[in-house]
Amino acid sequence: MVKAMPMPWVEAVLRGQRVLARANADGSLVAEGGRVEIRYKPNDGRAYRAAMGNLQLVPGAPLRADDAVAPGEAIARESRDARPSSKTVPAAPAHAWVAYTDGACSGNPGPAGCGVVLVSPAGKMHEGFEYLGQATNNVAELTAILRAVEWGPAEGPAFVVHTDSQYAIGVLQKGWKAKANQELVARAKEAVRRRGVRLVYVPGHAGVPLNERADQLAREAVQTGRTRRAALPPPESSETNAPVE
C-alpha cells in the first residue's frame, strides 16, 4: 500500500483574517465536500473547515510543510465559517461587505494618504488608495472611511468598515463634537448614515492582516503621490449578492 504524501499549507484570507489552508503541491486548495481544512495559527491545534469559496489565496505566499503546522483536532462547526471565539476583530455577518481603512501622514500635518481594502460577500478583495496632499492624520483616517463607502456598493447587503481610529468612530457614530474638519466629518457621517455602515474599531499595527494591508496602501499613496481607486464590478454582477454557504 502506497503511503499518502503529507499535504502542505498555503496562506489565505478568510473574511479579513489571514489563515493557513490545506493545499496541493501546486498551491491549489484541497477541498472535501466544498470545505477546506484551515488553521488560524501554526501552533494552534484546533482544526477548522471553511467554505472553499470564502478563501482567497495570498499572492506569492510560499507553501509551508505539513509538519510546520501543529496536528489538528477537529472543531465542531458553530457558524458558516467556524472562527475562534477570542478573535480580536468581531465577525461580520456572513452576507456583509467588509472594508478595512487606514490613513497615513508623514508629519502631522504633512504629505498624507489613505488606503482601503474592500472584501465582497464572496471573499473577493478590491484595493485602492488616494494621495491627499498636505493633511493631518485625522483627515486621512476620515477620508479613508469616506472613500470606502464611496468606492463600495451603493446598496445591498450589510456593510462593515474597520478602522483603527477611535477619533473617526467617535465623531461619526458616537456623537463626539468635531472641533476641526467639520465639513469632512459632516460628509463622512452622512455617507455612513445613508449606506447604513457599521464602524468597527480594530487595533492598529497589531497583526490584523487587512488592517496592515490598508496601512501599506495608505503609505504607498504618500510615497508615490498617486491615487488608485478601488474598482468594483457592475452592480448586476453576482459578486455583490453571491450566496455564502
pLDDT in tens, 136-178: 999 999 999 999 999 999 888 899 999 999 999 999 999 999 9
- Determine, yes or no, domain membership for 63: yes
Domain count, the chain: 2
Q: Is 67 a catalytic residue?
A: no
Q: What is the mean pLDDT of residues 35-54?
A: 80
Annotated catalytic residue 44: no
Per-residue pLDDT, 223: 94
Note down the domain range covering 149: 97-224
Q: Is 164 a catalytic residue?
A: yes
Q: How far apart are CA 205 and CA 121, in angstroms?
A: 25
pLDDT of res. 83: 42
Check if 66 is active-site.
Answer: no
- Catalytic hit among 37, 141, 152, 162: 141
Residue 26 annotated in active site: no
pLDDT confidence tier of residue 91, bands split at 50, 70 and 90: low
Res 208: pLDDT: 83
Nearest to 35 by CA among 14, 18, 16: 14
Q: Are residues 220 and 152 in the same domain?
A: yes
Q: What is the pLDDT of residue 95?
A: 83
64 compared with 205, residue with greater pLDDT:
64
Q: Torsions phi, psi of 134, nearest 5?
A: -75, 120
Question: How do residues 230-244 score in pLDDT, each as one tens digit?
Answer: 988 765 444 544 433
Determine, yes or no, domain membership for 154. Answer: yes
* Domain-located, residue 188: yes
pLDDT: is 118 or 234 the higher one?
Answer: 118
Do 177 and 107 have their domain in common? Answer: yes
Residue 116 cell numbers, joined: 482601503
Q: What is the per-residue pLDDT for 72?
A: 62
Which member of 11, 37, 127, 215 is catalytic? 215
- 53, 103, 113, 115: the catalytic one is 103
Decide: 48 and 38 in contact? Cβ < 8 Å: yes
Mean pLDDT of all residues in the chain? 83
Catalytic status, residue 220 = no
Distance of alpha carbon 25 from alpha carbon 6, whole angstroms: 10
Q: Is residue 102 located within the same domain as residue 207?
A: yes
Instruction: State mean pLDDT over 56-72.
Output: 81
Does residue 27 surpass a pLDDT of 80? yes
| Region 84-88 average pLDDT | 40
Q: Return the C-alpha cell found at 49.
A: 473547515
Cell 463634537 belongs to which residue?
A: 177
